[in-house]
Amino acid sequence: MLKRHQPLANIRVKTLWLFCGVLFVVFFLMSWSSYRVAQRSISQQIEHNSLPLTSDNVYSQIQRDLVQPTFVATLMAHDTFVRDWAMQATPSATPMQRYLAEIDQRFDTIIAFFVRDADRRLYLPDAAEHIIDATSHRYDWYEKVKALPENKPYLVTVGMDPERQGQMDIFIDHKVYDYQHRFIGVTGVGLSVEQVHQLLARYEQRYQRRIYFVDRQGKVVLSGQRFEGEDSLQAMPGMATIAAQLLSAPSGSYHFESGGHKTYVNARLVPEFDWYLVVEEHQAASLQAVFKTFLINVAIAGLITLMVLGISLATQGRYQRKLAAQASVDPLTLALNRRSGQELHRLMLDECNQQSQPLSVLVLDVDHFKQVNDQYGHEAGDTVLKDMVQEIKQHVRESDAICRWGGEEFLVLLNGCDLTQALSLAERIRTGMSAHRFTFKGQAFYITLSGGVAQNGPKEPLEEVVKRADAALYLAKENGRNQIQTGAA
């Protein structure tokens, strides 16, 4: 009987799968669109807010650390002592050395120096004096500073300091003029590159970004720790596409794609050094968390969809089973209804024929049931019918079937029972039922059963065998009730 509902059930299951599929796709699309919105907002945040802010922070820190020496160099270049001393015909080195030592001490610079152009002597705070040898590359910087145009009085250079075992230093070299604006020398201070290097490294660590300086040609002049060997913007993959644009504007925000990842760049010209401060951020790093959230959302969506599917399938299965059960049983006694009994009979007869087993049919009817109803009420009658089914159940097997054939008449299909066995079983039911004490509203009463048994012929339809069992029942009633009779073969 259930098989007849199978196509409908299949359609329902397919619809459910489709619904869950659509649900998952909707969940997925929602998560994806949130991910894209977050991605876009992060991109804008990086490009227009956080990178420029990092750049500002680094720049103001650099200004504090590097601009002060520039001021010191400017101050020295305009100091009347320095100029007067340099203008002397044969100045004594001692006052200058003392002056330079004072500068070092006062401003915490690594080295303060003065080059007197008249004798090309380099004066340092200690007693050592050096001759600026025009043939040596070591002093190329001096020629560069000397050649500076008037509107650019100083130069920032990064180079080896031979006085400090070849360590990298930053020098601020400032031209010095006499009172008639004639070039008379170069003065300035040096400070350790390590300081700036550490500063960049600290910022890189804090902001998880790559921070470095390039000169106007794009050559990397100072970097933190995140460098992997590229020595110019043009040599960096992807960066080459924006290098020209970056180096032609005083500041700007840019981005480029390389290896499937977007990189955001902020660059600003630091006029004091004529270098660009570059801050880079790889989108991949900042989007990792957002992407992780997206994956978690998709996993949750999948889980919810599976839960909905599971619950729906279970509920539908239960509901269907309940419907099927409701359609096949008598609601009062929970015995099978007439239609189910008929269907089941066909199956049972086939099965018994296949296994060469007998099948018997028993018809049971409550004696004077009308009186029970009349005397004790309809409710009492209902209880009798329900208890009767329970009583029958105690005597038959799981493989047998009890159906309510109509009113107070029940049909029992006895699998594997011949007439004799069926008769004996029917007797047991009858005896059991007659001993059943009913109490209703304080009144006790007993009932009796009459029954008819017939053994099913191998090809005999249900109507025929029931007819014979009914005839036997009629005989039992005729013979005084409370007895079982067998139907003629």
Ligand X SMILES: Nc1nc2c(ncn2[C@@H]2O[C@H](COP(=O)(O)OP(=O)(O)OP(=O)(O)O)[C@@H](O)[C@H]2O)c(=O)[nH]1
Separation of alpha carbons 257 and 241, rounded Å = 9
Residue with smaller CB distance to ligand X, 352 or 476: 476
Separation of alpha carbons 44 and 287, rounded Å = 12
* Residue 480 binds to ligand X (criterion: CB under 6 A): no
Separation of alpha carbons 237 and 258, rounded Å = 7
Shortest Cβ 409–ligand X spacing (Å) = 8
* Residue 365 binds to ligand X (criterion: CB under 6 A): yes
Shortest Cβ 463–ligand X spacing (Å) = 20
Stretch that binds ligand X, among 10-18, 133-141, 231-239, 361-369 (CB under 6 A): 361-369
Shortest Cβ 339–ligand X spacing (Å) = 17
Stretch that binds ligand X, among 190-198, 253-261, 365-373, 394-402 (CB under 6 A): 365-373
Separation of alpha carbons 344 and 288, rounded Å = 64
Beta bridge partners of 264: 255, 281
Separation of alpha carbons 235 and 229, rounded Å = 9
Q: Which of 185, 381, 452, 487 binds ligand X (CB under 6 A)?
A: 381
Residues in the chain: 489
Site string for ligand X, 275-314 (x = CB under 6 A): ----------------------------------------
Residue with smaller CB distance to ligand X, 131 or 332: 332
* Residue 152 binds to ligand X (criterion: CB under 6 A): no
Residue with smaller CB distance to ligand X, 125 or 381: 381
Q: Which of 103, 110, 186, 366 binds ligand X (CB under 6 A)?
A: 366
Shortest Cβ 423–ligand X spacing (Å) = 20
- Size, binding site for ligand X by CB under 6 A: 15
Shortest Cβ 4–ligand X spacing (Å) = 27
Shortest Cβ 381–ligand X spacing (Å) = 2
Residue with smaller CB distance to ligand X, 21 or 407: 407
Shortest Cβ 307–ligand X spacing (Å) = 44
* Residue 407 binds to ligand X (criterion: CB under 6 A): yes
Q: Which of 19, 369, 438, 474 binds ligand X (CB under 6 A)?
A: 369
Amino acid at 382: D
Residues between 308 and 337 with contacts to ligand X, criterion CB under 6 A: 332
Stretch that binds ligand X, among 58-66, 203-211, 290-298, 379-387 (CB under 6 A): 379-387
Residue with smaller CB distance to ligand X, 400 or 408: 408
* Residue 382 binds to ligand X (criterion: CB under 6 A): yes
Residue with smaller CB distance to ligand X, 45 or 373: 373
Q: Which of 47, 408, 460, 470 binds ligand X (CB under 6 A)?
A: 408
Q: Which of 378, 390, 399, 480 binds ligand X (CB under 6 A)?
A: 378
Binding residues for ligand X, rule: CB under 6 A, are 332, 365-370, 373, 378, 381-382, 385, 407-408, 477
